Amino acid sequence: MTDTTIATGTEAAATPMLSADLALIYRCIPHRYPFLFVDKVHSIVPNKSAIGIKNVTFNEPHFQGHFPGVPIMPGVTIIEAMAQTSGILVSLSMDLVDKNPLVYFMNINDCKFRRKVVPGDVLTMNVTVRRGGGRIWKFWGEASVDGELAAEAEFTAMIDLRKG
């Protein structure tokens, strides 16, 4: 099976895909540096699941203060990385590419942190849709490094296409 791409213009944007590179991620969610925590997404199954990748580097601004001399990726940014992966999945599932959707957290449940994430790690976010298809989506997410669970959570988000 080969990757398909999202077309520009009026062509259908909900074409099933296997992956999203950084250029497509920019078209799916509004996040930008320094608050973009997903470098690519693969194994996308619209309305079902996706796997996001975050290459953790020392140059990220949160490491200046969390913690000086002992850099650890903040747990909230790990959860945010899972949420951003989910936002990309939703954008591709609902034909929202280039429509500037905003995604708001509504709820985070059963959140647990299992290991530190540090510069040099590759964080893998597995997200699965528990309920979706409209404005409200619920996900289960697991973030891992080298197959070792780093964090897990159930989270709910609302999709908003309105501006302002």
pLDDT in tens, 53-94: 999 999 999 999 999 999 999 999 999 999 999 999 999 999
- Is-catalytic flag, 42? no
Give the strand order in the sheet containing 148-160.
19-20, 40-45, 49-55, 122-131, 136-145, 148-160, 102-113
Inside any domain, residue 70: yes
pLDDT in tens, 92-126: 999 999 999 999 999 999 999 999 999 999 999 99
- Domain of 68? 19-160
Percent of the chain exceeding pLDDT 90 equals 84
Predicted model pTM: 0.89
Inside any domain, residue 84: yes
Tokens of 52: 């996001």
Query: What are the CB-based long-range contacts (under 8 Å, 24+) for 158-164?
Result: 158/103, 158/104, 158/106, 159/90, 159/94, 159/96, 159/101, 159/102, 159/103, 159/135, 160/101, 160/102, 160/103, 160/104, 160/135, 161/96, 161/99, 161/100, 161/101, 161/102, 163/100
Domain count, the chain: 1
Inside any domain, residue 109: yes
pLDDT of residue 161: 84
The mean pLDDT value for 132-138 works out to 94
Q: In which band, very low, low, confident or very high, does the pLDDT at 162 lie, cut at 50, 70 and 90?
A: confident
Distances (CA, A) of 147 to 4, 58, 115, 144: 27, 21, 11, 6
pLDDT in tens, 10-64: 444 455 558 999 999 999 999 999 999 999 999 999 999 999 999 999 999 999 9
Inside any domain, residue 4: no
Q: What is the CATH number of the domain that holds 65?
A: 3.10.129.10
- C-beta separation of 60 from 39 below 8 A: no
Inside any domain, residue 9: no
Inside any domain, residue 10: no
Which is catalytic among the residues 31, 42, 62, 66? 66
Inside any domain, residue 6: no
Inside any domain, residue 89: yes
